[in-house]
Chain A
Amino acid sequence: MDPGLILVQTFNGLVYSSILFLVSSGLTLIYGIMRVLNLAHGSLYMVGAYLGITVVLYLMSGTPLGYLLAFLAVPPLTGLLGAALERGLIRRTYEMGEEYQLLLTFGLILIFDDLVKMIWGPAYINFPDPNAFLGGFRFGEYKIPVYHILLIALGFSVFLVLWAFFSKTFTGKVMRAAAQDSEVVEAMGVDVSKIFVYSFFLGSLLSGLGGISAGPLYTASPGMGTDIIVYSFAVIVIGGMGSVPGALAGSLIVGVFRSLAIAFYPQMEIVVVFVIMALVLLVKPTGLFGAPEFERR
């Protein structure tokens, strides 16, 4: 096999990994830390992409400034949307089982898909290509677009920030504690409901960041959040629920293996992610970086 091809394909995998990581780190934060199963997380990714289109294409007609603006404005907006969902709806399911969160957020997927269709129309929409002004580098017969490099850098920086936040900061610890016993933590003087809103804000912000990052590469259409949510679940299961390094490892594995599978064993494309996931779970039930579930004594 052509080593140059393996190299570019790995690089392509890394680009996809970065986007997966942005979305799945938000998911792992919300599920792994808050124990909330948010299927609608992928919808926020979709909303992120559509808001991005609105800013870049409709408001700023494709100028570089539009991108800058979108990257700054869109993630906080999806974060706010996520926080509003938590406050208004999801909060009411904490006392119920996980399956009710599932049902509620599945309902939200359907609602979001149709709302997006009402607002932005049913047609698929493309961002103008940011590489038009960013350009790219030659690598043999291949070309590495600058935007792809930026994405990898973005994914990795977000990882560093999150990792430092959760392992090094006190707030990170409080979030973990609140997830395990919110009542006690509340009685210790922590405003738990605020913590939950913040977690949702942060998680949804990351999902929206994923959407605005992926948007310029891909094509936006109603329903685009479904694939990414399934893959993101695979990622956080492979990496271990609630673990930010796990989300990174999972994203890298899924992104790179998928890319190599397409390149070299195309018939495996659809199944490769699920095969990896099943294998990991069968060998290490809690995922690569997952802590064992607590069993009562």
Chain B
Amino acid sequence: YNLAPKPTPEKAKAGKLPGVPSEPLKIGGMWFISGKFGTYGDMAKKALNMAVEEINSSGGILGRKVEVTLKDEADRENVLKNIRKMVEEEGAEFLIGIDSSGDVLKLTPVVENELHVVTIITHAATPKLTACNNLHYMFRISMYEEPIDIAAAKLVAEKFKDVKKIASIGPDYAYGYDSWAIFSNALKKLLPDVTWMEPMYSKLGTEDFSTYIDKMLSYGPDLVFSSLWGGDAATFVKQANSKGLFDSIKYYLNPMLGATDTLKAIGDGNVPAKAEVWGSGRYWFLYPPHDVYPLNKNFVNKFKSKYGEYPPYVSATSYTAIYALKAAIEKAYVAKGAWPSQDDVVAALEGLAIAGPMGPVAIRNEDHQGVYSVFWGKLKRGAPNYPHPILDDLQIFDFGEVFPAPKQTYVKCG
């Protein structure tokens, strides 16, 4: 469906630039819209609406209005067909989105070898995308899992030196396995003496974690590392709380917990009293701090007043993706004097630095990965002014510390 653009103000229309086509610029987006993970599409849509409105009311991109069409990633058998449709039939000139790592890997050869359109990934987090491919048309603006997990290892090594036994749980697919591999390998270098429980994996959308929780209890860890996300992350915390896991462990780390959707679902009532619960993510609405970084403040306030909630990370990354495209196109236009080709936009995106709600993001030349700093924060309940628990005691890891060099990864390619 279309996120219909708001009418363009007259003055923007008047200033038509030479070499710029007059028809609207179409961008194709894909996220989960229906089903269990439909909330991600919803978050993306909200941010896109905002971005499109802002851009169009100030004259569009080089005078072209922006239109975004969305397709549902939940139509599992037809992901690539639907992507192709947006480009070949609906005339999308650029693509953004993609939630699932599996889909992003499938999509890569199609975009690179067949469609040849600039594609900005806003969610899927597998290191393989940027580390194992020689990307030309594809970029990832969102933080991926590796820096967050490496930061987690640093956090443990620096702050929780007393850790002896570690247990882990993750979703039962590539992301879960990779996440554990990265964290454990990174941590083994820093704290070689810890012992590890055989990692556990639960299928996506698991309802009942009791079995996993009791298995952890039988091992008796003092730290649990969990890469569960979304509803699973919330369910786990709630059930672990009532099954007493947080009474016997000291630390609980989840690289995906710092998502407002998850925190909202956890609710103040389920924040454990005893153990320290730490979370991270691709964006945290209170970071960079509003007083020093007004862009984030404006984004958060606008989002809050428009939708009545604090922006989740997918909203921030999708929002940034549109602005990254805008910046790249404008940069390329300045260089060329005409509407840029796909390759021109690629060239403009490489090395581009763009200010997003999550802070300045630099897109690396070598692997097309957007880099920015990583946060870890401690879960705090009953924060005044917020309807859900928030992250407190933020630990910031500069991207230089935690991003592997381009094309390097703990995960096996291929």
Query: Which A positions have Cβ atoms within 8 angstroms of B?
Result: 2, 4-5, 8-9, 12-13, 15-16, 62, 113-114, 117, 121-126, 128-129, 131-132, 136, 138, 141-143, 145, 147-148, 214, 217-219, 221-224, 227, 259, 262-263, 266, 269-270
Contacts and interface: CB of A to CB of B under 8 A. Distances in A.
Nearest to B265: A126
Nearest to B247: A143
A136 B246 CA distance: 14
B218 A2 contact: yes
Nearest to A147: B242
Interface centre among B38, B205, B210 (most CB of A within 10 A): B210
Contacts of A270: 172, 203
Contact of B35 (A8, A138, A145, A222): A222
User: Which 3 A-B residue pairings sit nearest by Cβ, starting from the closest?
Assistant: A143-B244, A124-B231, A131-B242
B212 A262 contact: yes
Contacts of A113: 34-35
A9 B264 CA distance: 30
A5 B215 contact: yes
B265 A122 contact: no
A225 to B, nearest CB: 11
B230 A8 contact: no
B264 A227 contact: no
Interface string B212-251: 1011011010000000001110110011011110011000
A262 B211 contact: yes
A142 B244 contact: yes
B99 interface: no
Given A122-B42, A126-B234, A145-B242, A221 B36 contact: yes
A106 to B, nearest CB: 15
Interface string B186-219: 0000000000000011110101101110110110
Contact of A124 (B172, B218, B261): B261
A59 to B, nearest CB: 16
Contacts of A129: 238, 241-242, 269-270
A123 B248 contact: no
Interface string B260-297: 01001111011000000000000000000000000000
Contacts of A259: 210-211
Given A5-B218, A13-B211, A122-B39, 14 more contacts: A12-B214, A114-B34, A121-B42, A123-B42, A124-B36, A124-B261, A128-B269, A136-B243, A142-B218, A143-B242, A143-B243, A223-B38, A224-B36, A224-B205
Nearest to A228: B207
A222 B74 CA distance: 13
Interface size class of B (residues with CB under 8 A): 35 or more
Contact of A62 (B42, B201, B269): B269
Contacts of B201: 266
B234 A124 contact: yes
Interface centre among A114, A124, A259 (most CB of B within 10 A): A124
Contacts of B41: 122
Contacts of B211: 9, 12-13, 259, 262-263
Contacts of B39: 121-124, 221
A223 B36 contact: yes
B270 A16 contact: no
Contacts of A218: 207-208, 235
A83 B215 CA distance: 42
A125 B208 CA distance: 15
A129 B230 CA distance: 18
Contact of A221 (B200, B231, B266, B269): B231
Contacts of A221: 36, 39, 205, 231
A133 B180 CA distance: 35
A104 B267 CA distance: 38
A116 B374 CA distance: 36
A219 B269 contact: no
Interface string B26-43: 000000001110110110
B222 to A, nearest CB: 13
A141 B269 contact: no
A72 B241 CA distance: 26
Nearest to B241: A129
A269 B217 contact: no
Contacts of A214: 207
